[in-house]
Copies of this chain bind each other. A is one copy, B any other.
Amino acid sequence: MRDFDEHNITRAVIDRFGETPDRRLKRIMTSLVSHLHGFIRDVEPSFSEWEAAIAFLTRTGQMCHDKRQEFILLSDTLGASMLVDAINHRLPAGATETTVLGPFFVQNAPAFENGADISAGLPGELLYVEALVKSADGTTLPGALAQVWQSDDEGFYDVQHPDAGTALRGQFRADGEGKIHFRTIQPAAYPIPYDGPVGDMLRATNRHPWRPAHVHFMISAPGFETLVTHVFAAGDEYLDSDAVFGVKNTLIREFTRHPPGQLPDGTAIATAWRHLTYDFGLKPLASQAA
């Protein structure tokens, strides 16, 4: 087959993938070619536009290193990550909604006992977090593993500071009542990294890079799908325009401000502090979508 033109080339390229041994890969490549060509036919890019697209993708790849994943940021800012998330989480009633993992999760964060302080001495308003881990049917899940991570008071994660140690992240085990609790500081809204090609795209399209303040949770227990989600601070100005489309109403909570007095664990506190509570519901493995 030769002599391809703008009308017959899509069929020809799909046919060329006809001998793909893996059926799933064949299906993916067929769909990719069809949608990629559909995009090209729709916008009819000039050569210089196509070169600009190639250069953008190249810069995006070259911006990536062990602490920066620019293609995830691109996927996030185009709503692709949340769409993949939605497709993979058709949830039963009682299961907590999910959102993007984001680029700041770190494997093997330090393990803490319940009640510990994960702030590593960073400045900020004290935040006391209490969470219950349950099955979607309401059964508590003692021993569930909760990984938490969040920004500091200025909106930065520990991994964004070149020489700083671990801070504001850790692993907790749910106690006999399925509860985890810890001290931290109030997180701040922050911009996704915008000094790369994704930032250029946001600027060129008059979009801002901000995410509303939140705490990340990844919660796992045997027999359940691992839950990846955030809890967002009510009242944040970016709840309606999160740069990565991650906000869901069920994930918003008051980070309630209290006057000086006593923390939930009985400790006296001389400053104002905040309190966040959330009950997480995990989806059983192999359960049907609601």
Contact = CB atoms under 8 A, between A and B. Distances in A.
Interface of A: 1-6, 9-10, 12-13, 16-17, 19-22, 25-29, 31-33, 35-47, 49-50, 54, 57-62, 64, 69, 71-72, 75, 78-84, 86-88, 204-207, 239-242, 245, 247-249
Given A16-B241, A59-B61, 11 more contacts: A2-B247, A2-B248, A4-B245, A16-B207, A29-B205, A33-B79, A35-B35, A40-B80, A47-B84, A47-B88, A50-B75
Nearest to A90: B6
A205 B83 contact: no
A3 B39 contact: no
23 contacts: A1-B241, A2-B249, A4-B86, A9-B83, A9-B86, A9-B245, A10-B79, A13-B78, A19-B206, A25-B205, A28-B49, A31-B39, A32-B39, A33-B78, A35-B35, A36-B80, A37-B79, A40-B80, A45-B84, A47-B88, A50-B80, A54-B69, A57-B57
Contact of A5 (B25, B59, B72, B86): B86
Contacts of A28: 43, 45, 49
A31 B43 contact: yes
A91 to B, nearest CB: 11
A58 B49 contact: no
Nearest to A25: B204
Contacts of A2: 239-240, 242, 247-249
Contacts of A32: 39, 43, 78
Contacts of A242: 2
A100 to B, nearest CB: 11
Most buried by B among A38, A41, A87: A87
Contacts of A5: 86
Most buried by B among A16, A28, A57, A83: A83
A79 to B, nearest CB: 4
Contacts of A54: 69, 71-72, 75
A246 to B, nearest CB: 8
Nearest to A55: B71
Contact of A6 (B26, B45, B86, B248): B86
